[in-house]
Amino acid sequence: MDFRDRHVVVSGGTGALGTAVVGALLAAGATCRVPYWVEAEAEHYAFRQHPRVSLVANSNLADEASVARVYDGLPSLWASIHLVGGFAFGPIGETDKSALLRQLEINTVTAFLSCRAAIKVMTSGNSGGRIVNVAARPALEWRLGANMAAYTASKAAVAALTVALSEEVAKQNILVNAVAPSIMDTPANRMDMPKADHASWPKVEEVAASILFLASPDNKVTRGAVVPVYGRT
């Protein structure tokens, strides 16, 4: 897949999956803009000094002005990949309104505002583009969302947003898709679940490969898909 001379925004690009996505994009020739919120992640970021990576600090992607700043000044935009998100576990009796709104803000609102900003840039150039969101397995298999209803609802909203938006912008040659991972093999997940079958979890590099195709010029027809990336789990 050839991303040479193509600009890509990767939100959440300093996390485990984001680092894998940005690494694959750079290997394919892309120029990446990576907004971040956690300073410690940026300080130790593997691609901090890469000549085709620009980091955008203090990026609260649930805030419209902050999102606009991420996308402002781009000479063009081929793809926007939205990996920002958060997880919360807990039965509904222990999940109050503020916890629900937090999940909606970090998962749904960030994806919505990033899609909105990306489409503005893409349509101004009349060259089309690609958008990839991240849902989750419970967004497709709702019964798996027991004891994490707020998270499940927020990710199901991302899936619905993806499909609705794909229909809205298809005639502008903007193809919108999402991936829906199961639990991914990351150091944090291994620490939280030390007794799980880690070998069955999808690797971040494998999920990144699916994202890369959906975001690539090689994807000429796929839109409105929420692609399961479950590995062997």
Residue 1 lies in a domain: no
Task: Answer yes or no: is 64 within a domain.
Answer: yes
Residue 46 lies in a domain: yes
Domain membership of residue 135 (yes or no) is yes
User: End-to-end distance of the chain based on CA atoms, in angstroms?
Assistant: 28
The string of pLDDT tens digits covering residues 217-233 is 999 999 999 999 998 88
pLDDT, tens digit, 9 for 90 and up, residues 95-144: 999 999 999 999 999 999 999 999 999 999 878 999 999 999 999 999 99
DSSP annotation of 49: T
Q: How many C-beta atoms surround the C-beta of residue 127 within 10 A?
A: 13
Neighbours of 187 (CB within 10 A): 8
Q: Which pLDDT value is given to residue 56?
A: 96
SS3 content of the chain, % helix, strand, coil (to 5): 45, 15, 35
Would 53 be classed as within a structural domain?
yes
- 195 part of a folded domain: yes
- Which structural domain, as residue segments, surrounds residue 71? 7-229
In this prediction, residue 70 carries a pLDDT of 97
**Number of domains observed in the structure of the chain:** 1
CATH number at residue 194: 3.40.50.720
pTM: 0.96
Q: Looking at the domain assignment, is residue 2 inside a domain?
A: no
